[in-house]
Structure 1
Amino acid sequence: MKKGGGVMKAVWIALLYVCLFGLSIYVYSTQLNGPDADLHQRLLPVEIKTVKAGTSKNELKEIVLDAGKDGDVLSIAGMQHSQGGQTMYPNGIMIDMKPYNQIIEVDEDAKTVTVQSGARWADIQEAINPYGLSLKVSQSQNIFTVGGSLSVNAHGLDIRNGGLSDTVLSMRLMNADGEILQLSTSENSELFSAVLGGYGLFGIILDVTLQLTDDELYETQTASMPYSAYPSYFKQQVQNDPDAKMHLARISIAPDSFMEDMYAITYKSAKDQNLLPEHQKLKTENLVAVPKFFLGLSRINDAGKDNFWKAQKTYTKQINGNLVSRNNVMRSDSEFMEYDNSRKTEILQEYFVPVDQFEDYIPALKTVLEANPDFNLLNVTIRYVEQNDNAVLSYAKEDMFSLVLLINQGTDAESIQATQDVVRQMIDVTLAHNGSYYLPYFGYPTKAQMKEAYPRTEEFFDLKDRFDPEHRFMNLFYEEYRP
């Protein structure tokens, strides 16, 4: 029994990475080493001309100016996790920003950090952790580049500091003429709001200065409830509690409790902050095989989904009261999420719905999903997003719950069409509840749906044409959704 108990303990430890961090990731794209560029999900093959990179602004300027002379189109890529074609353009030159990744300055007194745009969030955390500083906002995975995250206007688990764009003090942009422009809310502000969530269409983000906050020790608090009780629980136990700093929830996709049962995880300021040094060492992910196995079972059948949900629910009870640093809550890798299947792939969808609409929205979404039993939904993670309109293409027109859906689908034409049909139905339901959807993912939504979700769509494309009249910076997102 002791030996078996040890095995189960290892399983539960591994499940922590699934339950807390792993299922709200952005699906991988392949590294591009030649002219044949094919997204890892194998839904959008694109042939590009070449890949170029630079480690200095002068090298990047040379790439931009040479493209102008030769009439080449440029697209910009970080970790290449955007699924909707935002990082490539047919027969274009892709600029790989990953080598442009220096941490320029950590200002301990001002609590700021200045970084080149190819730096990953993991790099920043390693630089600021020794100072007892932490990011105000970042995605729940730390593998993305700063420039990429800003270009998709990302958000995270923090419920007190707005969106990622709210933490940007300033940034520098290289335009199609090789000029370097300073952008902030007070300097070139119109362009600033277009570049945030601008999908690389306005130029190259060179470097960014971010406002930081103090690292802090959190106590983990968990709860289970039916979906109908979640909005009031969130308002009373999370939003109205000043000690609650970070939060996420999940709703069941298991057949026995489909879109009914939920659990929530909240990180609250621990009473004894003197214990923080004991928890400040930055963690690394391990025990990849076990969560990968459990997720694999969930892909296969209903029994796998039921067992996976029960395991998650059991574990949330076990982690209640655990202590963790802010930096470690925001630090998770996603190696176990890698998925390789010759006939299937995985995509994400993300929908935003006003907090007060949530209770009516879930049954409507459930109706769509139940009418499409072959739609293989693997996970729904829920976060909170404050109202934010500092980007032209802002998705949070009021305080919203964000629902991130992980979907397993086939890569053949029939499967792609079937997924598109369901996605468009889900978006229609979301729009009917005064919601919106996240733009970086595969181009299943229609132009009309984008215009309804993003009323400033035409303004965005007009700004693109004004600030880059030669269309030097291009991607497939522009081709798909321009008016």
Structure 2
Amino acid sequence: MKAGLFICVYGVLFAASFYTYNQFYSNPTVEDAGRLLPAQVKEIAQADGEETLKEIVKQANRTGSRLTIAGMQHSQGGQTYYPGAVMIDMKPFNQVIDFQPEKKVITVQSGATWDDIQKHVNPYGLAVKVMQSQNIFTIGGSLSVNVHGRDIRHESLIDTVQSFRLLKPDGTIIRVSRTENADLFPYVIGGYGLFGIILDVTLSLTDDELYQKNTKEFDYSEYSDYFQKEVKENPAVKMHLARLSVAPSSFLREMYVTDYVTVEDQQLLKDYETLKKERIVALPKFFLGLSRYSGWGKDAFWDIQKQYMLEDNGSYESRNNVMRSETDFMAYESGTKTEVLQEYFLPVNEFADYIDDLRRVLEKEDEFNLLNITIRYVEKSDQAVLSYAKEDMFALVLLINQGRSEEEVKKSKAVIRKMIDVTLDHQGSYYLPYYSYPSKEQLETAYPRIDEFFRKKQQFDPDLRFTNHFYEEYNE
């Protein structure tokens, strides 16, 4: 009798322990760069080959599992995972498949990074046309959010894509281009991994070039006119960026801009074409750290940034190296805080009035810790269904330091919704790869084709094999 009771109790405890193990240990917890949406996934599957990827999709169809797709996971709103889903890590799937330098074309697997491409094409005097300002991201992830960068003579990334292969939710593979399965082209690019797995991509390249940096500072009210006359109408300017002060002493008033102007004697390129590596970052990292905790720190960091850029005025840099911006100094770890991004797009001629309205909102938000605003330019691009550039626009990238508690997230959400309202009032839009602070109404205003996008998703993937936080949050 006692033996039977012991066996029964032991069996119950064993079953409970096994359940606990499966729930809390065999199901890994993942999070993206924003660190605000940790979730337990069913498993992390490694993309170590095309056959493996096909089997992952077929297995998911047999078991009914959901799938998500992850690269470097710098999208910050859970676009790369979902609770209980199988998260596919694409980073091992990173080979260069074909390179035709004479045609300025390269085909790479989607887990390759921009750094991988740059190292491959730089010895041939070639460069990427459009990518982010950093080269650490995967190609598949970049396509899925349809990135843009410092180049002002091309549109967003979709403009440079010749074709890609897509592993569909049913486990079959198709090629997608502007002529093959063309109806999918504007949905998958900028589609946040919801239509299947991008296996490999064929991209158009351009010549590497030598640029001279031209940096100057001025008042924000002069920026639109300067850009229209001195940058956009000058074909020698190939790249451009600006920074707007968040320091208390010059808040949203002072700016500096850097134009990258083509050097006449391109023979000099050979002296600058070696790909640069990260340099010593201790000093900027120190002052960025100070800026997180005090207005004095923000003033000091702004002065140092300006001084450095102005002293570097007139220096030379290759196109490939302009696209290898340093990021190590921005690395940030905290148990209670995180840093999130927002990106707002607005018409060029709206800039000064927009900044005035944005300043009025933010001057009332003492606890909102804005660390940086970088400005780029993106030409009108309506190729993607979820296009963010309704016309020629400035893109303002905001870096925000915030707490991770529920209350602090709520406070950030309230301020960000106010900023988005200001942006929409100025005929602008916002970028989707970040935390899901915006309301459904704001999403529909910024992206009037969002319902069309969701309908296409449901038509193409009726079993909802591919999903993520973004889709589940907004597809109500």
Q: TM-score range by the shorter chain?
A: over 0.9
Instruction: Specify the alignment match of 2:396 in structure 1.
Output: 403
Q: Which aligned pairs between 1:56-67 and structure 2 lie closer than 5 A?
A: 56-67=49-60
Query: How many angstroms apart in 1 are the aligned matches of 2:32 and 2:374?
Result: 24
**Aligned residue runs from structure 1 range 109-148, under 5 A:** 109-148=102-141
Match of 2:208 in 1: 215
Whole-angstrom CA distance in 2 between matches of 1:399 and 1:40: 29
Contact 1:33 1:51 in 2 (8 A): no
Out of 67, 84, 87, the position equivalent to 2:80 is 87
Identity %: 58
Q: Does 1:412 align with 2:405?
A: yes
SS of 1:89 mapped into structure 2? coil
Check whether the contact 1:424–1:445 (CA below 8 A) recurs between aligned residues. Answer: yes
Q: Distance in 2 between matches of 1:34 and 1:116?
A: 28
Q: How do 1:9-24 and structure 2 match up within 5 A? A: none
Q: Distance in 2 between matches of 1:42 and 1:173?
A: 29
Alpha carbons 1:142, 1:333 under 8 Å: kept: no
> Which residue is 1:203 aligned to?
196
**Is 166-175 or 46-55 further displaced after alignment?**
46-55
- Give the partner amino acid of 1:72: S
CA–CA distance in structure 1, aligned partners of residues 328 and 455 of structure 2: 40
Match of 1:238 in 2: 231
One-letter amino acid of the counterpart of residue 228, structure 2: K
**Match status 1:54 vs 2:44:** no
Matched, 1:338 2:331: yes
2:256 to 227, 243, 263: 263
Q: Which residue of 1 aligns with 2:158?
A: 165
1:436 matched to 2:416? The reply is no
Q: 2:314 aligns with which of 306, 310, 321?
A: 321
Contact kept, 8 Å, 1:153 with 1:165, in 2: the verdict is: yes
State the partner residue of 1:69: 62
* Cα displacement string for residues 153-176 of structure 1 (whole angstroms, at most 9, x for unaligned residues): 110000001111100000010001
Given that residues 33 and 74 in structure 2 are in contact (C-alpha distance below 8 angstroms), is that contact kept between their aligned partners in structure 1? no
Corresponding residue for residue 4 of structure 2: none
- The question of whether the paired residues in 1 share the 8 Å contact of 2:212 and 2:317 is answered with yes
Q: Which residue in the other structure is 1:298 paired with?
A: 291
Give the C-alpha shift of residue 269 in structure 1.
Answer: 0.2
In 2, distance between residues paired with 1:432 and 1:105?
A: 46
Residue 35 of structure 2 corresponds to residue 42 of structure 1: yes
- 1:382 matched to 2:375: yes
Asked if 1:189 is matched to 2:187, the reply is: no
Match 1:308 to one of 290, 301, 305:
301
CA contact (8 A) 1:122 1:142 kept: yes
Aligned residues of 2:36 and 2:404 also touching (Cα < 8 A) = yes
Instruction: State the Cα distance separating 1:40 from its structure 2 match.
Output: 4.7
CA distance in 2 between partners of 1:329 and 1:452 (Å)? 34
Q: What TM-score does the superposition give when structure 2 sets the normalisation length? A: 0.94
Is the Cα contact below 8 Å between 1:386 and 1:398 reproduced in 2?
Answer: yes
**Structure 2 residue aligned with 1:357, among 350, 373, 380?**
350
User: Partner letter of residue 297 of structure 2?
Assistant: G
User: SS state of the match for residue 385, structure 2?
Assistant: coil
Which of 1 and 2 has greater Rg?
Answer: 2
Counterpart CA distance in 2 for 1:123 and 1:402 is 26
Task: Find the aligned partners of 1:170 and 1:33 in 2 and give their Cα distance.
Answer: 38
Pairwise CA distance, 1:371: 1.1
Partner of 1:24: none
Q: Which amino acid aligns with 1:46?
A: A
Give the letter aligned to residue 462 of structure 2. P
- Whole-angstrom CA distance in 2 between matches of 1:356 and 1:34: 51
Larger displacement relative to structure 2 (285-294 or 417-426): 285-294
The whole-number CA distance in structure 1 between the counterparts of 2:128 and 2:294 is 39
SS in 2 for 1:55: coil
> Distance between the aligned counterparts of 2:183 and 2:446, measured in 1?
21
Residue aligning to 2:452: 459
| CA 1:253–1:73: 2 relative to 1, 3 Å | same
The 10-residue stretch of structure 1 (43-52 or 447-456) with the greater mean CA deviation from structure 2: 43-52
**Displacement after TM superposition at 1:33 (Å):** 9.7
Q: Tell me the CA shift for residue 335 of structure 1.
A: 2.1
Residue 53 of structure 1 deviates from its aligned partner by 1.5
The answer to whether residue 340 in structure 2 is matched with residue 347 in structure 1 is yes
State the alpha-carbon separation in 1 of the partners of residues 153 and 32 from structure 2.
35
Gapped runs of 5+ residues in structure 1?
A: 1-31
Whole-angstrom CA distance in 1 between matches of 2:296 and 2:248: 8
What's the counterpart of residue 21 of structure 1?
none
Q: Between 308-317 and 371-380, report the one with greater CA deviation.
A: 308-317
Q: Distance in 1 between matches of 2:281 and 2:179?
A: 46
SS at match of 1:300: coil
- Give RMSD over aligned pairs: 1.2
Q: Is the Cα–Cα contact under 8 Å of residues 33 and 75 in structure 2 kept in the other structure?
A: no
Residues 413-472 of structure 1: per-residue CA shift (max 9 Å, x gap): 111111000000000000000000000100100000000000000000001001111100
Q: Specify the code of the residue in structure 1 equivalent to 2:273.
A: Q
The aligned counterpart of 1:98 is: 91
Match of 1:278 among 264, 268, 271: 271
The Cα of 1:332 is off from its aligned counterpart by 2.6
Contact 2:31–2:78 (8 Å) recurs in 1 = no
Could you tell me which residue of structure 2 aligns to residue 27 of structure 1?
none
Residue by residue, what CA displacement relative to the aligned partner does 1:79-106 show, whole Å, maximum 9, x if unpaired? 1111011000110000000000001111
5+ unaligned residues in a row in structure 2: which ranges?
1-24
Contact 2:34-2:435 within 8 A present in 1 as well = no
- Contact kept? 2:34, 2:74, Cα under 8 Å: no
Deviation readout 1:400-424 (Å, 9 max, x if unpaired) = 0000000000111111111000000
Confirm or deny: 8 A CA contact 1:185 1:192 kept in the other structure: yes
* Structure 1 residue identity aligned to 2:208: D
* Cα offsets for 1:374-420 (capped at 9, x unmatched): 10000000000100011110000000000000000011111111100
- Contact residue 87 and residue 475 of structure 1 kept, 8 A: yes
Measured against aligned partners, the alpha-carbon deviations of 1:299-343 in whole angstroms (never above 9, x if no partner) come to 110001111111112222211110000000001342221111111
What residue in structure 2 maps to residue 13 of structure 1? none
Separation (CA, whole Å) in 2 of partners of 1:33 and 1:396:
43
C-alpha separation in 1, matches of 2:287 and 2:272: 28
C-alpha distance in 2, partners of 1:363/1:41? Answer: 29
Q: Say whether the 8 Å CA contact 2:187–2:385 is kept in structure 1.
A: yes
* Counterpart in the other structure of 2:360: 367
Relative to the length of structure 1, the TM-score reads 0.92
Q: CA deviation at 1:34?
A: 5.4
Q: Is 1:477 aligned with 2:474?
A: no
Task: Output one character per residue of 1:124-173: Cα deviation in whole Å (capped at 9) or x when no partner.
Answer: 00000011000001100100000000101110000001111100000010
Among residues 386, 408, 412, which one is paired with 1:393 in the alignment? 386
Distance 2:97 2:324 in 1: 21
